Amino acid sequence: MLSMVQRPVLRRIGWWAGTIGAAASLLEIVVISIQVVRGVGSHFNVSTPTNQLFYQLMAGGVTLMYCATLVIGAFLAMFSRIEDRALAWSLRLGLIIALVGLSVGFLMVIPTAAQLADPTSSTYGSHSVGGDDATGGIFFLGWNTAHGDLRVSHFIGMHALQVLPILAITLPRALSEADRLRIVVAAGATYAAVTAIALWQALRGQSVIHPDAITVAAVGVTIVLAAMSFMTIAAQGRHQHR
- Return the pLDDT at 212: 96
Q: What is the mean pLDDT of residues 223-234?
A: 95
Q: Is the pLDDT of residue 69 over 90?
A: no
- Between 3 and 219, name the one with better pLDDT: 219
Q: What DSSP string describes 134-185? A: TS-B-TTT--BSSSEETHHHHHHHHTHHHHHHHHHHHS-TTS-HHHHHHHHH
Q: Is the pLDDT of residue 65 over 80?
A: yes
Q: What is the mean pLDDT of residues 50-74?
A: 91
| Alpha carbon separation from 61 to 68, 69, 72, 85, 207 (Å, rounded) | 11, 12, 17, 33, 28
| pTM to 2 decimal places | 0.88
DSSP run (H or E) holding 188: helix 177-203
Q: Dump pLDDT digits (tens) for 160-210.
A: 999 999 999 999 988 999 999 999 999 999 999 999 999 999 999 999 999
Q: Dump pLDDT digits (tens) for 71-119.
A: 988 888 778 878 889 999 999 999 999 999 999 999 999 998 888 888 8
Q: Dump pLDDT digits (tens) for 42-57.
A: 999 999 999 999 999 9
Q: Dump pLDDT digits (tens) for 211-224.
A: 999 999 999 999 99
Q: Is the pLDDT of residue 241 over 70?
A: no
